[in-house]
Amino acid sequence: MQTVVDPKTLLLQRIEDKTAVVGVVGMGYVGLPFAVEKAKVGYRVVGIDRSAKRVAMINQGQNYIGDVKDEELRDLVAQGLIRATTGFEVVPELDVIVIAVPTPLTKNLVPDLQYVEGVTREVAKYLRRGQLVSLESTTYPGTTEEVMLPILEESGLKLNQDFFLAHSPERVDPGNARYTTKNTNKVVGGVGKESLEVAVAFYSKTILHVVPVSSAKAAEMVKVFENTFRAVNIALVNELTLLCDRMDLNVWEVLDAAFTKPFGIMPFYPGPGVGGHCIPLDPHYLEWKAKEYNFNTHFINLAGEINRKMPEFTVDKAARVLSQHGKPLRGAKVVLLGMAYKANLDDYRESPAIEVFKLLQKRGAEVVFHDSWTPHVEEHGFVADSVELTDELLQNADLVIITTNHSNVDYARVVALSKAVLDTRYATRGIKADNVVLL
């Protein structure tokens, strides 16, 4: 008589002996590094991405993510441990399906789960017994259980009997050389204890420290809190910047001195706004969900309001700097240095520099930008290309605004050649010059 092995036992066995096939939906800043880590320990990984260009690059061993080593991806593809496809027909071959797709906001700051829902419906079409589905996309507490679970159970399969469902929020910090996918603590919450057990077993094979929590909803709350914590503290220093501007104080001097305190304080810095895929968006997921419970998240709302004001404040200050040089903003030649949302990164998603660029144009300035990390920018209908940072460009500009503090720019040269510089990132630290104004 043949022994029937239940789906959980069989899946745990495959995870343990690394015969489990891992699918990663969304091969971007989260998905590709994750796929590489899984393949490095011996799992076969199949990436699913709607971009035919990305899929072709992966299958040719060509890397497009800074946090992935070119040679590692190339070798893993050559060994047959990583491949990619644009279709979901491969789902029956997979034992684990990790979903890492965008979770944007609508124009009215309402969560837009079209990608999560769409992918879940595609997975549900092919779902079979003995699979783990794990959502890594940042979202409001309740998404995994309230949105994904009903869709997956439309397959006729039952949670924790036939398949398993979890949420394990990504903690990717693009460009961070110290903390990578492998050594960043991993929070895991399951929809039920059986799902938690399977998910913890899976993530423990490649992540050094897994942190189990009581539910998927708790895991979702962990991530939105982490990003809200940063948003609120960035808003605090941005508001301090607005006040210091009124009081004619150097906010950077104040912050540098404050951060010498060895306890009870944590460094955060101002800027022309907040960018990236997390800070400008994720707190609004929690703000929106709280309304369901008749609860107003005052701090979150205020922080978002302050942070969204910073591009406009930057442009207003640019106008004042130009005025001091006898030049109106309308018709002024302005050069932005940096379009990426973060230094030494090729990511311009939600970058405040884009908003600064558009506001300057709206007020009549002639604007160009230089950024060797992001030579072409295309987002929300905005399209622009980087120009070469020549001596002539700097000398002819009425104002240079440093919007991203990339380390490959010679700021001493910029200051020496420019009529006026507005530094929103303190990239000119240590350079003494009368033509530099700090944000």
pLDDT digits (tens, 9 = 90+) for 109-131: 889 999 999 999 999 999 999 99
Do residue 256 and residue 290 come from a single domain?
yes
For residue 1, the model assigns a pLDDT of 44
Do residue 36 and residue 153 come from a single domain?
yes
Do residue 410 and residue 308 come from a single domain?
yes
pLDDT tens figures, 369-390: 999 999 999 988 899 999 999 9
For residue 90, the model assigns a pLDDT of 97
Range of the domain at 310: 228-438
Q: Say what angle helices 7-17 and 193-203 make with each other, to 10 degrees.
A: 10
pLDDT tens figures, 289-340: 999 999 999 988 999 999 999 999 999 999 999 999 999 999 999 999 999 9
**pTM of the predicted model as reported, rounded to 2 decimal places:** 0.89
Give the CA angle between residues 357, 361, 365 to the nearest 5°.
Answer: 110
Q: Does the annotation count 244 as an active-site position?
A: no
Give the pairing of strands 421-423 and 436-438. Answer: parallel
Do residue 45 and residue 187 come from a single domain?
yes
pLDDT band at 3 (very low <50, low <70, confident <90, very high): low
Give the least confident one: 58-62, 179-183, 311-315, 402-406: 179-183
Do residue 246 and residue 202 come from a single domain?
no
Do residue 159 and residue 193 come from a single domain?
yes
Burial class of 92 by CB neighbour count within 10 A (0 to 12, 13 to 18, 19+): exposed
Catalytic residue among 278, 310, 322, 339: 278
Q: What is the mean pLDDT of the chain?
A: 94
pLDDT tens figures, 156-209: 999 999 999 999 999 877 777 788 878 889 999 999 999 999 999 999 998 899
Q: Is residue 221 a part of any domain in this protein? A: no
Q: Is the pLDDT of residue 4 over 60?
A: no
Give the CA angle between residues 394, 351, 248 to the nearest 5°.
Answer: 65
Q: Is residue 342 a part of any domain in this protein? A: yes
Distance CA 426, CA 439 (A): 8
Q: Is residue 52 a part of any domain in this protein? A: yes
Kindly calculate the radius of gyration of the chain based on its CA atoms and give it in whole angstroms: 24
Give the least confident one: 50-54, 147-151, 238-242, 289-293: 289-293
- Of 167, 184, 213, the domain-final residue: 213
Q: Is residue 244 a part of any domain in this protein? A: yes
Q: Is residue 186 a part of any domain in this protein? A: yes
Do residue 30 and residue 173 come from a single domain?
yes
For residue 311, the model assigns a pLDDT of 97
78 DSSP 8-state letter: H
For residue 380, the model assigns a pLDDT of 85
Do residue 151 and residue 244 come from a single domain?
no
**For the chain, percent of residues with pLDDT exceeding 90:** 85
Q: Is residue 257 a part of any domain in this protein? A: yes
* Residue among 338, 319, 315 nearest 384 (CA): 338
pLDDT tens figures, 409-438: 999 999 999 999 999 999 999 999 999 999
What is the average per-residue pLDDT within 99-105? 92
pLDDT band at 283 (very low <50, low <70, confident <90, very high): confident
Do residue 203 and residue 314 come from a single domain?
no
Q: Is residue 218 a part of any domain in this protein? A: no
- Of 181, 213, 245, the domain-final residue: 213
Cβ atoms of 210 and 159 within 8 Å: the answer is no
Q: Domain count of the chain? A: 2
Q: Is residue 197 a part of any domain in this protein? A: yes
For residue 173, the model assigns a pLDDT of 78
- Of 188, 213, 238, the domain-final residue: 213
CATH number at residue 137: 3.40.50.720
Q: Is the pLDDT of residue 282 over 90?
A: no
| Residues with Cβ within 8 Å of residue 132, at least 6 apart in sequence | 11, 95, 96, 97, 163, 164, 165, 166, 195, 198, 199, 202
Distance CA 16, CA 205 (A): 8
Cβ atoms of 15 and 166 within 8 Å: the answer is no
Do residue 296 and residue 405 come from a single domain?
yes
Please report, to the nearest 10 degrees, the dihedral formed by the alpha carbons of residues 23, 74, 210, 263 taken in order. -140
For residue 172, the model assigns a pLDDT of 78
Do residue 234 and residue 286 come from a single domain?
yes
Do residue 171 and residue 275 come from a single domain?
no
